[in-house]
C-alpha cells in the first residue's frame, strides 16, 4: 500500500466523520467527486494547483471559487483548502474514492468494478449485479469500464477481492506453465 493511499484513507475517514456528524455524507461524496473530476478535466485548474509560481493563498482562493461554483458545502471547501496547505490536493481522486468506499460501507452498499474487453449487454450486468448481491449480502453498485487489452472475458473487483476471468490473464498463466 502506497503512502499516498494511506494518507488518502486517513483524510477520507476524517472528512467522513465530520460529514456524518453533519448528516451530509452523500452530499460531500458527490462534491468531492465533482471537484476531482473538475481537476482531472481542466488543464488550467491543474496548472494553477500544481505550479510553484502560485502562492498557497492564491491556490486556496481558486480552489474555493471552483468548489463554490460546483455547489460545495463549507466542509468540502475547508477540506480542499487544507489539502492545498498540506500539498495533497493532487490526491483528491484517491481521497474521493476512499470517501465513496466509506459511504458505501456505512450504507450497506458495495462498489464492484467490472472491466471487460468490450461493452457487454445490460442483461449480463443485471445478472452479475444479482449474483454479487447474493454473494456479498449487500446492495451492489456496478462501475463499468472497458479495456481492449483484456482481449476477452472480464475482471471484477469487489473491495480488495479480484475475480480475473480475462483471456489476457489466462494466456499469461498458460505462458508461465509452458515456460516452467
Q: Are strands 109-116 and 154-158 parallel, antiparallel or unpaired?
A: antiparallel
Scan for cell 502560485, then name that residue: 54
DSSP 7-39: HHHHHHHHHHHHHHHTT-HHHHHHHHHHHHHHH
DSSP state of 151: -
Query: Which residues make Cβ contacts (< 8 Å) with residue 51, sequence separation at least 6?
Result: none
Determine the pLDDT at residue 4: 60
- Helix (H/G/I), strand (E/B), else coil: 73: coil
In tens, the pLDDT along 33-85 reads 999 999 999 999 999 999 999 999 999 999 999 999 999 999 999 999 999 99
Q: Please, which residues bridge with residue 158 across strands?
A: 112, 161
- Helix (H/G/I), strand (E/B), else coil: 153: coil
- Helix (H/G/I), strand (E/B), else coil: 113: strand
Q: Are strands 161-164 and 139-146 parallel, antiparallel or unpaired?
A: unpaired
Flag whether pLDDT at 163 surpasses 90. Answer: no
Determine the pLDDT at residue 3: 60
Share of the chain above pLDDT 70, in %: 98
Query: What is d(CA 51, CA 92) in angstroms, rounded to the nearest whole number?
Result: 16
Flag whether pLDDT at 1 surpasses 60. Answer: no
More confident residue, 79 or 161: 79
Flag whether pLDDT at 118 surpasses 60. Answer: yes
Amino acid at each position: 500500500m502506497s503512502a499516498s493511499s494511506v494518507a488518502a484513507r486517513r483524510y477520507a475517514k476524517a472528512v467522513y466523520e465530520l460529514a456524518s456528524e453533519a448528516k451530509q455524507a452523500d452530499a460531500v461524496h458527490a462534491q468531492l467527486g465533482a471537484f476531482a473530476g473538475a481537476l482531472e478535466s481542466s488543464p488550467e485548474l491543474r496548472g494553477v494547483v500544481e505550479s510553484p509560481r502560485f502562492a498557497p493563498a492564491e491556490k486556496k482562493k481558486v480552489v474555493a471559487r471552483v468548489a463554490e461554483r460546483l455547489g460545495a458545502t463549507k466542509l468540502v471547501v475547508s477540506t480542499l483548502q487544507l489539502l492545498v496547505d498540506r500539498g495533497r490536493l493532487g490526491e483528491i481522486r484517491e481521497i474521493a474514492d476512499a470517501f465513496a468506499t466509506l459511504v458505501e460501507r456505512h450504507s450497506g452498499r458495495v462498489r464492484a468494478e467490472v472491466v471487460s474487453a468490450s461493452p457487454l449487454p445490460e442483461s449480463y450486468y443485471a445478472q452479475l449485479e444479482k449474483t454479487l448481491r447474493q454473494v456479498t449480502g449487500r446492495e451492489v453498485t456496478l462501475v463499468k469500464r472497458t479495456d481492449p487489452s483484456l482481449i476477452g472475458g472480464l475482471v471484477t473487483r469487489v473491495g480488495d477481492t479480484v475475480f480475473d476471468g480475462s483471456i489476457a490473464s489466462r494466456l499469461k498463466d498458460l505462458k508461465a506453465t509452458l515456460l516452467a
